[in-house]
Structure 1
């Protein structure tokens, strides 16, 4: 799964720490998601979508191996 969290943060001009505080996770969780080392739960994905006011699909892309 890939994501564009880093780009979305840049657009809103917020740090990993600020985002983590807004959605109540650790900064390390945001960092791991941005690096593709952590796949968020459905609840976390929805919190991010709500924060950025976009759909989950606009943040995360499922990579398939066809």
Structure 2
């Protein structure tokens, strides 16, 4: 099995079996953008921009990736899994 195939078989999945990105992870945890912002100290507008593609989520700071992954109980790479390259 290739590493990419293995990676595609792990991590949170949507109901359709697709990898989940930031928005899907947040919604799966029952959090609003405002609640996530309060838990992480990241501005709600920044979270919204990541979710809507106005900011490149793949270029977020390590600090923000760690804050979000801790709040959403996931690995940092899972934040971008549902985001096209």
TM-score calculated relative to the size of structure 2: 0.63
Alignment of 1:3-18 (within 5 A): 4-18=21-35
**How many corresponding residue pairs?**
61
TM-score calculated relative to the size of structure 1: 0.78
After the TM superposition, which parts of structure 1 deviate over 2 Å for at least 4 consecutive aligned residues? none
**Structure (1/2) with the larger strand percentage:** 1
Q: Which position in structure 1 is the counterpart of 2:63?
A: 43
- Distance (Å, rounded) in 2 between the aligned partners of 1:56 and 1:36: 17
Kindly name which structure, 1 or 2, has the bigger radius of gyration based on alpha carbons. 2
Unaligned runs of 5+ in 2: 1-19
CA RMSD of aligned residues (A): 1.7
Higher RCO, 1 or 2 (CA under 8 Å, sep at least 6)?
1
Unaligned runs of 5+ in 1: none
